[in-house]
């Protein structure tokens, strides 16, 4: 009964795009921070992905148990858990894709500076190891603040001589997931058929959903679009407050992270027309060296960074408003990487 129910679930919704029985190349994926609130459900979701042949789970502690538990799931990939800094190299060797949800989650009252002060050092350390043990891997950065941690990673890779701007991604998929969900509710649309591009960054007002480009396109009022934009920008805070200090958006983030990782693997395997919104090195907005927009993924990571398209007046205002904050966050990451 339970098995039939799970199979039915996996055949439905957007999850169905993962679970094909076709043969795929060998792909090793590492999750760094696999014992955490995002890492555990993300590890499970990656175990369910048939494109993964080897799943490497790393954290400072707790990963042997997570790996043992996850390894019992009857899917393709072999799972190994690694714990402690001395095992990080083994976890990374031979990886095609590295996903980084490591670090502390946001708690009520915690500022972005608080988050930065803890997670920046963690990201720098992990990226230093990536540059040594799997310099050609695609890197999916989940650790917040993404607007700063992606520039940190870029600087670390530059210093090591391994930087490839086509293979470093800030995962902003949760913003897209939220925008789709909230929009579908207001538009009375089938959420599986909804598409909403989200550009900019991955925090507060730097998150800019382009509801004018959403499909399907019902005539929602300006006030509704404004409220949807605000809710998408504040989605993380909504969850933090609902969990009353006992967690952040771990489950939805794991889901979004797994969706984006799946897209990267499909791109690596040569699947055509894989397009996702993600935070990458970009010239879409000339004064911002990193920016989230639609990106075509392929065998080399980024195949093409797509333009913003036509924006409404409201979205143009939002774009101008986000630039100073996003620029500051990017510069903060670059400065941290180069001074420490």
Annotated binding site for NAD(+): 33-39, 59, 119, 142-144, 253
CB contact at 8 A, 61 and 83: yes
Q: Which of 72, 136, 202, 222 is catalytic?
A: 202
| C-alpha torsion 99→331→122→244, nearest 10 | -80
For 67-127, the DSSP string reads HHHHHTS-SS-EEEEEESGGGHHHHHTT-SEEEE--SPPP-TT--HHHHHHHHHHHHHHHH
Whether 202 sits among the annotated catalytic residues: the reply is yes
For 257-279, the DSSP string reads HHHHHHHHHHHHTT-S-EEEEEE
The pair phi, psi for residue 274, each rounded to 5°, is -95, 110
Give the residue numbers of the binding site: 33-39, 59, 106, 112, 119, 142-144, 178, 253
Q: What 8-state DSSP symbol labels residue 145?
A: P
Give the residue numbers of the binding site for substrate: 106, 112, 144, 178
Q: What residues have CB less than 8 Å from 309, skipping those under 6 apart?
A: 197, 210, 213
The b/e string for 23-53 (b: 16+ C-beta within 10 A; e otherwise) is: ebeebbbbbbbbbbbbbbbbbbbbbbbbbbe
In this structure, is the dihedral angle defined by the CA atoms of residues 178, 180, 181 and 186, taken in order, positive or negative? positive
The pair phi, psi for residue 243, each rounded to 5°, is -85, 0
- Active-site residue list: 202
């Amino acid at each position: 009964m339970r098995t039939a129910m799970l199979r039915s679930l996996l055949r439905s919704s957007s999850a169905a795009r993962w679970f094909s029985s076709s043969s795929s190349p060998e792909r090793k994926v590492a999750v760094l921070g696999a014992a955490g609130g995002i890492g555990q459900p993300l590890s499970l979701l990656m175990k369910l992905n048939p494109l993964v042949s080897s799943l490497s789970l790393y954290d400072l502690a707790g990963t042997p148990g997570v790996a043992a538990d996850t390894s019992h799931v009857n899917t393709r990939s072999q799972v190994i858990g690694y714990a402690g800094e001395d095992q990080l190299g083994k976890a990374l060797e031979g990886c095609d894709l590295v996903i980084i949800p490591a670090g502390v989650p946001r708690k009520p009252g915690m500022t972005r500076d608080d988050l930065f002060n803890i997670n920046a050092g963690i990201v720098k350390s992990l990226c230093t190891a990536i540059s040594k043990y799997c310099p050609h891997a695609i890197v999916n950065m989940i650790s917040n603040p993404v607007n700063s941690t992606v520039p940190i990673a870029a600087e670390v890779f530059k210093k090591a001589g391994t930087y490839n701007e086509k293979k470093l991604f800030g995962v902003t998929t949760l913003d897209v997931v939220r925008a789709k969900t909230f929009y579908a509710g207001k538009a009375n649309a089938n959420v599986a058929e909804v598409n909403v591009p989200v550009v900019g960054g991955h925090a507060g007002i730097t998150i800019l959903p382009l509801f004018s480009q959403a499909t399907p396109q019902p005539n929602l009022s300006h006030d509704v679009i404004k409220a949807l934009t605000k809710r998408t920008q504040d989605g993380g805070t909504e969850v933090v407050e609902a969990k009353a200090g006992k967690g952040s958006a771990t489950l939805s983030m794991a889901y979004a992270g797994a969706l984006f990782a799946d897209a990267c693997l499909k791109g690596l395997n040569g699947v055509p027309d894989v397009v996702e919104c993600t935070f990458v090195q970009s010239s879409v907005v000339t004064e911002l060296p990193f920016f989230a927009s639609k990106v075509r993924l392929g065998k080399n990571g980024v195949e093409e960074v797509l333009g913003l398209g036509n924006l409404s007046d409201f979205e143009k205002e939002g774009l101008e408003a986000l630039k100073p904050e996003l620029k500051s966050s990017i510069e903060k990451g670059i400065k941290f990487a180069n001074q420490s």
